């Protein structure tokens, strides 16, 4: 029986599937299919003079079909791109039996099907490099129609653009939107380039716990979970900083991790609940050294991805060429507001903030106000990569106090395209100072700051044994990828960005309809007519239901004997 939930096109494809099987062809063959080249290799290397690619075997998905009687053109898409295939009846079927062309290819194959093609490469009269198919095999039959995107002279028609569908069904997005695929290839290039840089320096890639009994290393609200055997609360990490520093205590001179972190906070085009950071810790270095390292690393990444240090991002051309501009936070504020706040006390800072239109309130300390002024007045204006150094101590409980300026810490962020891309410091290794800083955080926590850090006794104990002076870095992989791929949203650089679960419409089980006295063969039809629950049948007009059911029966050629109005009345009476 026909499934009433399927669209016309899906029904036709399932029928094609059966016909393929009845011709003795397996639409999902088990055997491996050997390919000896790919679309891009052919398109970039084929030449008539060389007469190469005369025995190619490739596999891919059918993306377009242009059928004209005994000759056809299709485009197939493989891992590297698209290539046109010329399918001529008598080349594909040299013998008497033309079934493979006339029936299988022309009638039973569809856009979206995955096939293998063997043949020779040539150039058509229109000048397009194509494969002349002498062999064609179905590798996987597609029973759902793909979005059809057309293109001519670089102009895209009917692009598949609905963000909801693109993110929930990323596979479709990847099939029909080549630029999406390209962004993800660049993302992997970025992490490969970074890893190569770090390995070449001799640092050790490590893995540390994602499930942590205490969350630390950043200011954020965590996800909470529970371990059954331990009967204990665990948190998904918000950062891995404290574990990596314990490894530095343990004697590794350089450790890094590409870490998925989880923060239970708002979502927007710059924030996803899970995101990736690369954290790096190097012993006997300080934040000045780390700035040089970041410049060198990001410049290399830009060169590896784009072949140049210049990257177009929105309206801006961003240049990652070293050296980057450097400002202390006070200098940056002076640069963009003309006001020198370096010597101001809390009252003067509050006055200045108000004058500048920056919102402040009584709960904010000196550090928070400075940070707020910077965030409002400077950050968005920093388009070219710029280091901002020397932050107020209140904002940075894990950073070492500044070697020469009171009230500041040795910390820097790199700002690019108006957004932070990394955060680093000379790590605090004085265990007594560290304990005091944690205690200040505890006070903030008691005042209701949900993001205040918790005191991590294990970490403190570790650095009491002595941690070498260390430079530490956290660099946001998603944000850096956004810049390197000119993406407007973090969703465009995550394969599967977090989406709200769609609620399925309430639907009663068929048994519930059966219990209510509806004959089993009519249940799907009743549901198709819009009555997904037994409840929804109560009190409705028998004649109108009769009309709908008989109509559906006829329309879908189900061939059931129509019930009489009295039959339907009796069903409905039992319900009421």
Partner RNA sequence: CGGCCCGUAGCUCAGCUGGUAGAGCACGUGACUCUUAAUCAUGGGGUCGAGGGUUCGAUCCCCUCCGGGCCGACCA
Rule CB under 7 A: which of 531-560 touch RNA? 532, 555
Take residue 137 and report the two structure tokens written for it.
């095999």
- Is there a contact between 549 and 562 (Cβ–Cβ < 8 Å)? yes
Does residue 350 bind RNA (CB under 7 A)? no
The footprint of RNA on residues 398-437 (CB under 7 A) is 413, 420, 423
Between 462 and 546, name the residue whose CB sits nearer to RNA.
Answer: 546
161 binds RNA (CB under 7 A): yes
CA distance 288 to 404: 14
The maximal CA–CA distance of the chain, rounded, in angstroms, is 95
* Residue 511 near RNA by CB under 7 A: no
Separation CA 46–CA 83 (nearest Å): 12
Indicate whether 151 belongs to the interface with RNA (CB under 7 A). yes
Of 43, 208, 214, 265, the one binding RNA by CB under 7 A? 265
For the record, the structure tokens of 205 come out as: 């890639």
Question: Pattern 74-113, binding to RNA, x per CB under 7 A?
Answer: ----------x-x-x-x----------------x--xx--
In the complex, least distance from residue 34 CB atom to RNA, rounded to whole angstroms: 26
User: CA angle, 287 as apex, 286 and 290 as ends, to 5°?
Assistant: 95
Whole-number Å distance between alpha carbons of 36 and 25: 24
Q: Does 66 bind RNA (CB under 7 A)?
A: yes
Residues 6+ apart with CB under 8 A from 315: none
Closest CA to 286 of 428, 461, 464, 474: 428
Which of residues 145, 178, 365, 468 is near RNA by CB under 7 A? Answer: 145
Contact, 399 vs 426, CB < 8 A? yes
Site string for RNA, 209-238 (x = CB under 7 A): ---------xxx------------------
Among 266, 307, 466, 559, binds RNA (CB under 7 A): 266
Instruction: Return all residues near 524 (Cβ < 8 A) that are at least 6 apart.
Output: 1, 4, 510
| 54 touching RNA, by CB under 7 A | no
CA distance 214 to 116: 53
How many amino acids of this chain bind RNA (CB under 7 A)?
Answer: 75
CB of 246 to RNA, least distance (A): 22
Instruction: List 471's β-bridge partners, or say none.
Output: 282, 426
Quick one: which of 22, 446, 502, 576 contacts RNA (CB under 7 A)?
502
Closest CB to RNA among residues 129, 467: 129
Asked if 390 is part of the footprint of RNA (rule: CB under 7 A), the reply reads no
- Which region, judged by CB under 7 A, interacts with RNA, from 193-201, 261-269, 346-354, 560-568? 261-269
Among 154, 157, 231, 559, binds RNA (CB under 7 A): 157
State which residue, 226 or 557, has the beta carbon closest to RNA. 557
199 binds RNA (CB under 7 A): no
3-state class of 482 per DSSP? helix
Question: Residue 173 burial (CB < 10 Å; 0-12/13-18/19+)?
Answer: buried
CB of 64 to RNA, least distance (A): 5
Tell me: does residue 128 bind RNA (CB under 7 A). Answer: yes
Which residue, 247 or 373, is less far from RNA as judged by CB?
A: 373
Residue closest to 392 by CA, chosen among 420, 372, 362, 363: 372
DSSP letter string, 347-367: HHHHHHHHHTT----TT--HH
């Amino acid at each position: 029986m026909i499934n009433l939930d399927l669209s016309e096109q899906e029904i036709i494809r399932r029928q094609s599937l059966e016909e393929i099987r009845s011709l003795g062809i397996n639409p999902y063959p088990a055997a491996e299919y050997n390919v000896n080249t790919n679309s891009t290799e052919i398109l970039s290397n084929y030449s008539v003079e060389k007469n190469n690619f005369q025995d190619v075997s490739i596999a891919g998905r059918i993306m377009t079909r242009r059928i004209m009687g005994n000759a056809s053109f299709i485009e197939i898409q493989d891992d590297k791109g698209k290539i046109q295939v010329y399918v001529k009846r008598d080349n594909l079927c040299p013998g008497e039996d033309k079934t493979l062309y006339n029936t299988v290819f022309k009638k039973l194959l569809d856009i979206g099907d995955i096939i293998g093609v063997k043949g020779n490469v040539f150039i058509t009269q229109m000048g397009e490099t194509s494969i002349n198919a002498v062999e064609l095999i179905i590798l996987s039959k597609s029973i759902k129609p793909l979005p059809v995107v057309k293109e001519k002279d670089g102009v895209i028609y009917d692009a598949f653009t609905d963000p909801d569908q693109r993110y929930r069904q990323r596979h479709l997005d990847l099939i029909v939107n080549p630029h999406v695929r390209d962004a993800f290839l660049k993302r992997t290039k970025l992490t490969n380039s970074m890893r190569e840089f770090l390995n070449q320096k001799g640092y050790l890639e490590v893995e540390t716990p994602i499930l942590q009994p205490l969350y630390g290393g950043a200011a954020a609200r965590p996800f909470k979970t529970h371990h059954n055997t331990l009967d204990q609360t665990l948190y998904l990490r918000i950062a891995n900083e404290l574990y990596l520093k314990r490894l530095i205590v343990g004697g590794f001179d350089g450790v890094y991790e590409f870490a998925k972190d989880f923060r239970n906070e708002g979502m927007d085009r710059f924030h996803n609940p899970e995101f990736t950071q690369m954290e790096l810790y190097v012993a006997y270095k300080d934040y000045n050294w780390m700035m040089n390292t970041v410049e060198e690393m990001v410049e290399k990444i830009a060169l590896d991805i784009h072949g140049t240090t210049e990257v177009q991002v929105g309206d801006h051309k961003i240049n990652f060429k070293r050296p980057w501009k450097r400002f202390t936070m006070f200098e940056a504020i002076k640069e963009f507001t003309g006001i020198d706040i370096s010597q101001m006390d809390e009252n003067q800072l509050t006055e200045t903030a108000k004058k500048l239109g920056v919102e402040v309130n009584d709960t904010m300390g000196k550090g928070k106000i400075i940070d707020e002024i910077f965030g409002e007045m400077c950050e968005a204006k920093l388009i070219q990569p710029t280091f901002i150094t020397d932050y107020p101590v209140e904002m940075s409980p894990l950073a070492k106090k500044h070697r020469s300026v009171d009230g500041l810490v040795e910390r820097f962020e790199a700002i690019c395209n108006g957004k932070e891309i990394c955060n680093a410091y000379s790590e605090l290794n004085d265990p007594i100072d560290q304990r005091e800083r944690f205690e200040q955080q505890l006070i903030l926590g008691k005042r209701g700051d949900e993001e205040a850090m918790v005191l991590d006794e294990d970490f403190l104990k570790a650095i009491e044994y002595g941690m070498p002076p260390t430079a530490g870095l956290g660099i946001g992989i998603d944000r850096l990828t956004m810049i390197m791929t000119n993406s407007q949203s973090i969703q465009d650089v995550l394969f599967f960005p977090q989406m709200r679960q769609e609620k399925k419409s309430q639907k009663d089980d068929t048994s519930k309809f059966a219990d209510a006295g509806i004959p089993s063969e009519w249940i799907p039809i009743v549901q198709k007519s819009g009555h997904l629950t037994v409840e929804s049948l109560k009190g409705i007009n028998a004649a109108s239901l009769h009309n709908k059911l008989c109509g559906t029966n006829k329309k879908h050629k189900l061939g059931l004997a129509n019930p009489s109005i009295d039959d339907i009345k009796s069903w409905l009476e039992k319900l009421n």
